[in-house]
């Protein structure tokens, strides 16, 4: 069916973009950890994570997407970034 094929092609393109953006987001860990070392800051910043969570909830509500599921995705992304920062620190 044409509609299924077309929709899946769109999903494939969107997935590629999402994965590229995740990779770009994660690679920012390199700059972030450099700045944190200068500023003597911890890797974990709960205040910043709270802001991200609030923004995610707002976007989820505006787009009628399950809030908790979207929060789960963002938590995985923040975990990924913190892991990356820890690895960079260990390599130093």
Ligand X SMILES: C=C(O[C@@H]1C=C(C(=O)O)C=C[C@H]1O)C(=O)O
Part of the chain binding ligand X (CB under 6 A), chosen from 5-13, 16-24, 43-51, 56-64: 43-51
Using CB under 6 A as the binding rule, the residues of this chain from 48 to 67 that contact ligand X are: 48-49, 52
Using CB under 6 A as the binding rule, the residues of this chain from 1 to 30 that contact ligand X are: none
Q: Which of 36, 27, 40, 41 is nearest to 83 (CA)?
A: 27
Is residue 82 at the binding interface for ligand X, with CB under 6 A as the rule? yes
Distance CA 8, CA 2 (A): 10
Alpha helices in 1-92 (DSSP H): 2-27, 29-39, 46-62, 67-91
Closest residue to ligand X, judged by C-beta, is 81
- Least distance (Å) from ligand X to the CB of residue 48? 4
């Amino acid at each position: 069916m044409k509609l299924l094929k077309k929709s899946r092609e769109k999903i494939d393109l969107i997935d590629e973009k999402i994965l590229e953006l995740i990779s770009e987001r994660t690679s920012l860990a390199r700059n972030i950890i450099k700045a944190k070392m200068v500023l003597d800051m911890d890797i974990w910043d709960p205040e910043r994570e709270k802001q991200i969570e609030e923004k995610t909830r707002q976007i989820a509500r505006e787009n009628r997407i399950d809030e908790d599921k979207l929060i789960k995705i963002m938590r995985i992304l923040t975990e990924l970034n913190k892991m990356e920062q820890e690895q960079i620190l260990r390599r130093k």
